[in-house]
Amino acid sequence: MELDPDDVFRDDDEESDNEFYQEHEATKEYVVYLVDASPKMFSTTCPAEDQTDETHFHIAVSCIAQSLKTQIINRLYDEVAICFFNTRKKKNLQDLNAVFVFNVAEREQLDRPTARFIKEFDHIEESFEKEIGSQYGIVSGSRENSLYNALWVAQGLLRKGSSKTADKRILLFTNEDDPFGSIKGAAKNDMTRTTMQRAKDAQDLGISIELLPLSPPDEEFKVSHFYADMIGLEGDDLALFMPSAGQKLEDMKDQLRKRMFSKRIVKRISFIIANGLSIELNTYALIRPTVPGAITWLDSVTNHPLKTERSFICADTGALMQEPAKRFQPYKGENIKFSVQELSEIKRVSTGHLRLHGFKPLSYLKDYHNLRPSTFVFPSDKEVVGSTCTFIALHRSMLRLKRFAVAFYGNPSNPRLVALVAQDEIVRAGGQVEPPGMHMIYLPYSDDIRPVEELHSDTDAVPRASDDEVKKAAALMKRIDLKDFSVCQFANPSLQRHYAVLQALALEEDDMPEIKDETVPDEEGMARPGVVKAIEEFKLSVYGDNYDEEGDVKVSEASRKRKAATENAAKECANYDWADLADKGKLKEMTVQELKLYLMAHNLSTTGRKETLISRILTHMGK
């Protein structure tokens, strides 16, 4: 329902194909955040950046808050519930002990997040002790099993919807690797068994349970104690699961955040290598511009939503008609008609696969060989066994030989030549920074590349920087060096602003929040004496000491004439008493050219009809 012509965020020329940019809307997700609220979550802390300690509970809650905010922007139709366990009070449909489902008014327990939900959850820690309370739910001597109850409640929450149309997930945050550690003997086995069965039940219903373990700085969260069985980790996976103990808090947060997203495959494609040998690849959209959601038109009187109805009217007869099945292009004095089928047929120049052409050195991929965001590809053995092995071999060879693959991607809506660039895995302390795989870069065709460099070239040699000037520039670069720059370290200020305003209005707050624009230059850093000096030296070397902003420009014929005209107009203009003419209403009697003298002398626009010119003059005079 996007019929708004003046969508503020879209660039003038950007008519993105919907399929390409909105592919992630395919499925929705139901998530239950299951947060351990035992006293241990409050007593265990991690040192944060600013020297204060943060509790595990705080980390979990802030990760969820963060994710809710992203979700309300990005994934409109996903539904969430937040459920604490090991609580003093209980609140859940089954009325089980030690489980508390957090919610706000006018919202179902599993529902899309609302502004109020996010806002109140932001303040959950302040009211937690009073409203919900923390208490161990599994103690020896009692048969209570809060983890079991929590899983049951979560499963109950996820009852809605079919697992075919929605991804159902339980994300479990805890720092207790051995939940039944305090129980001894048969009771322990029993509790373990029943809890496992509960988890299995949920999994059989198509619900995936994911563990987000929090571990104290010097202790390792041992998945093998209990959780490995529950979430089905074996062998290598087990070792992989906890990348490193004792990592920094920031890294842990980072990891949690990454794990909270589920991967969505955009498409499965087969990559035809040669001789009929083809492997299976999944494509993922790792980078896509986030834009504010579509607008909905409302009736300004009632604030009720409006639906837009399109009607097609024949321009010749005025008759109302169905949506026409044909399009036409005037050509050679005729209207050439195309049916919609014919048009899509034309675009299908190849099967929807990726067909390898060959390989080129990476230096052949120029910085201007780009049109749209890249797509990530990762192999899969799900349908074609042997795909991963083949892919890994090619991936390694391409990295080692510094080559990229050229392939034709016969996407039916926009078939293109693509470059497949192998990316090695990059792992930093906080885990994976760049996943291993290949990035598909959409290449331009000859008509998409414009020779703009040559636009202003003539036969004369153009000035070039001397070695000394280059040296000064290099010195400058060393001074203003962004050492740890990482792509995407900035939040989009206009998007942040957009949602902050929306949130404030949705909650009917009066104060408009101030959003920090992270993209402005670092004034302080730029003012450091070393930097200032380096800039001064560079400026002196390229501009010389008698630099004058405009002085150097070879003034073009046109602008010289324009300047002369303005000066002349200013002179001529002085011959009239404009205020007097205006007061007496005599401007009407003057010629357009006379009027323009005034406008030119005052640097105003000279376009438009005579009335427009007069009113512009009057406005300028303040009359």
Partner 1 sequence: MKNEPALSSFTLTFAINYGDVTITASVTASVTSFISFSTQSVYSLMARTREALLLLLDVSPSMHSVLPDVEKLCSRLIQKKLIYGKNHEVGVILFGTEETENELTKEVGGYEHVKVLQDIKVVDGHLVQSLKHLPQGTCAGDFLDAIVVGVDMLIKKYGETYKGKKHLCLITDALCPLKDPDVGTKEDQVSTIARQMVAFGLRMKNIVVRASLSGEPHMRVIIENDNLLNIFSKKSSAKTLFVDSTTSLRGARKTRDISPVTIFRGDLELSEKMKIKVWVYKKTGEEKFPTLKKYSDKAPSTDKFATHEVKVDYEYKSVEDPSKVVPPEQRIKGYRYGPQVVPISSAEWEAVKFKPEKSVKLLGFTDASNILRHYYMKDVNLFIAEPGNSRATVAVSALARAMKEMNKVAIVRCVWRQGQQSVVVGVLTPNVSEKINIPDSFYFNVLPFAEDVREFQFPSFSKFPVSWQPNEQQQEAADNLVKMLDLAPSGKGEILQPELTPNPALERFYHHLELKSEHQDAAPPPLDDSLKKITEPDPTLLAESQSAIDAFCGQFVIKENPKLKKSTRRFLREKPSGSDEPNGDGSVSDAQAVNSMESKPVVTVDKIGDLTPIQDFEAMMSRRDCPDWVDKAIEDMKNKIFGLLENSNEGINYPKAVELLVALRKGCILEQEPKQFNDVLEKVCKICRKRNFSTFFDFLMSKKLSLISKSEAVDSDITDDEAGSFIVKSQPKHED
Cβ distance to partner 1 smaller for residue 124 or 260: 260
Counting contacts by CB under 8 A, is residue 596 touching partner 1? yes
Q: Which 3 state secondary structure label does DSSP give 356? A: strand
- In the region spanning residues 104 to 123, those forming contacts with partner 1, defined by CB under 8 A, are 111-115, 117-118
Contact 30, 168 (CB under 8 A): yes
Instruction: Kindly give, in sequence order, each residue whose CB lies less than 8 Å from that of residue 152, ignoring residues fewer than 6 positions away.
Output: 94, 96, 198
Site for partner 1 in 548-577 (CB under 8 A): 552-554, 556, 558, 561-562, 564-565, 568-569, 572
Binding segment for partner 1 (CB under 8 A), chosen from 50-58, 124-132, 232-240, 578-586, is 232-240
Contact with partner 1 (CB under 8 A): which of 58, 160, 188, 539? 539
Binding residue (CB under 8 A) for partner 1 from 295, 429, 574, 579: 295
Q: How far is the CB of 486 from partner 1 (least distance, A)?
A: 7
Contact at 8 Å (CB) between 86 and 70?
no
Binding-site size for partner 1 (CB under 8 A) equals 265
- Residues 189-208 close enough to bind partner 1 by CB under 8 A: 190, 193-194, 197-198, 200-201, 204-206
Q: How far is the CB of 114 from partner 1 (least distance, A)?
A: 5
Which backbone phi and psi does 526 adopt, to 5 degrees?
Answer: -70, -25
> 42 or 502: whose CB is closer to partner 1?
502
Binding to partner 1, residues 572-591 (CB under 8 A): 572
* CB neighbour burial string for 320-335, b if at least 16 within 10 angstroms, e if fewer: eeeeeeeeeeeeeeee
Give residue for tokens 């986030």.
290
Residues 6+ apart with CB under 8 A from 445: 416, 417
Instruction: List Cβ<8 Å contacts ≥24 apart for 260-267.
Output: 260/63, 260/67, 260/171, 260/212, 262/29, 262/167, 262/169, 264/24, 264/26, 264/27, 266/23, 266/24, 266/375, 267/23
Smallest gap from Cβ 328 to partner 1, in A, equals: 4
Question: Least distance to partner 1 from the beta carbon of 87, Å?
Answer: 20
Report the nearest approach of partner 1 to the CB of residue 180 (Å): 16
- Comparing CB distances to partner 1, the nearer of 326 and 610 is 326
What CA–CA distance (Å, rounded) separates 307 from 445?
40
Of residues 126, 221, 234, the one with CA closest to residue 173: 221
Q: Which is nearer to partner 1, 1 or 579 (CB)?
A: 1
Q: Taking the alpha carbons of 535, 538, 542, 545 in that order, is the dihedral positive or negative?
A: positive
Question: Could you give the string, one character per residue 30-69, with x where binding to partner 1 holds by CB under 8 A and - elsewhere?
Answer: ----------------------------------------
Can you tell me which of 123, 360, 533, 610 binds partner 1, judged by CB under 8 A? 360
Piece of the chain touching partner 1 by CB under 8 A; list 36-44, 173-181, 222-230, 544-552 = 544-552
- Token pair of 591 as six digits: 């010629």
Residues 244 to 263: which contact partner 1 by CB under 8 A?
A: 257-259, 261, 263
- CA 182 to CA 356: how far, in whole Å? 59
Contact 112, 78 (CB under 8 A): yes
Contact stretch for partner 1 (CB under 8 A) within 50-58, 160-168, 214-222, 613-621: 160-168
CB of 171 to partner 1, least distance (A): 14
Amino acid at 355: R
Q: How far is the CB of 34 from partner 1 (least distance, A)?
A: 20
Taking CB under 8 A as the rule, does residue 526 contact partner 1? yes
Q: Which is nearer to partner 1, 39 or 206 (CB)?
A: 206
Residue in the block written with tokens 């103990």: 245
By C-alpha distance, which of 377, 375, 379, 397 is closest to 387? 379
